[in-house]
Amino acid sequence: MKRWGVLTFKGEGERDLLHVPLAAWLPEAGVVGAMDLDPSKCLKRTGLSDLVASLGIALEEGSQPSGRAEAQGDSTGSRPDRAAHADLPRWHSWVRGLGMFGWLVALVTAFAADLTRAMPVAACALFLIPASDGAVRVTAWWRNKTTGVFADASVIRPSPAGSATRRFLRTASVRVLPGDVILTNTVGEERWLGRAGMHGVSRVVRLVAPVTGEPLAVELRDGRGEARALLPWRDWFAGQQGPERWKELQAALGVPVSDEELDRDKNSSGWWQGHMLGADARKMSPMEGKEVRRETDWQRSVIGRNELLTLPLFSAVLLAGLFSDDSSAFVAGLLSALTIAAALVPAATIALVSRLSYDKVIEKAEAHV
């Protein structure tokens, strides 16, 4: 997260008050190469330079690592805050840690002291790990379903030419709100772009081929003329409903629209090669099912891919209690079976639905929305 540097707000006596990692505040950080921006450009893209100017604060560029600054802040007894977005709630990490620690302590007690009553405690503690994951996922699903943030948004859906996947047609979108433009790619990642200020979306440019004039992509640019997002034309506006979707986007944004010839290397195999936001050509278009499953898989992208193996193995230690006459051992075995099911069943179901339906390539994609 320290790509392009950290913006540090200082108080009296040069004491650090707030650290703002620039990569955490750059909407297109995931699709821009690390070598394509310097810290000054990143400050402008995030709007932080405008914020500093409006506050009337002097902006200086230094080379001091943030780790050293944090150490200095600790020495005065006032550690600076860090303005970074958390992917998961803090309680989730605490519950998972408590579950792992409780399982280990209770299991050692059960076997070392021959105390069978500790077995259900160990199994219950281990069950907290998949249960906390499920609570986070259900809460996020419910919040997305009931939130009214997008109620007044103008929604532009892709109209691809030829084949696509149901995931792309149902997930990818451009939502235009009074103060924001929200782009959602194939895997559900959202990018929020402002509409006000020099860093906001102020212009739409359609990139066309130099010789044929064929539309290739659509750029959303800010007030400084910098590209902030890239939509492949073939996957968004080349289908049967493409002209209508193109008009909807222009009407929703209400900014100047123009065509420009794409300046590209003659030796490049794709029009997107060499473009700063070339990675958008992949993520804002239908992706292969295998790649989508890798990027949306809960274990691989959030928790860690080894959990699908370790949780069943740890649960298997007490699973034999299902066949025991001892009530404590039976309860421990039952909870262990629930832990295995909570870990494996959702992952297997999602993978199966993805392979058979959601990420299966279909012809005449618009008819299957």
The reported pLDDT for the residue numbered 100 is: 93
Mean pLDDT of the chain: 84
The reported pLDDT for the residue numbered 68 is 44
The answer to whether the beta carbons of residues 250 and 258 sit under 8 Å apart is no
- Whole-number pLDDT of residue 365: 59
Which pLDDT belongs to residue 36? 63
The per-residue pLDDT for range 183-206, each reduced to its tens digit, is 999 988 889 999 988 889 999 999
Label each residue of 315-340 as H, E or C: HHHHHHHHHCCCHHHHHHHHHHHHHH
Percent of the chain topping pLDDT 90: 36
Which percentage of the chain shows pLDDT scores above 70?
Answer: 88
Q: What is the pLDDT of residues 306-333, one digit of tens each?
A: 788 889 999 998 998 898 888 999 999 9
pLDDT tens figures, 1-37:
356 778 888 887 778 888 888 877 888 887 876 556 7
pLDDT value at position 74?
42
Q: What is the mean pLDDT of residues 35-64?
A: 78
pLDDT digits (tens, 9 = 90+) for 68-118: 444 344 434 456 666 666 678 889 889 999 999 999 999 999 888 878 889
Tokens linked to 103: 């399982």
In sequence order, which residues have a C-beta less than 8 Å from that of residue 162 and are 6 or more positions away?
234, 363, 365
First to last CA, the chain: 37
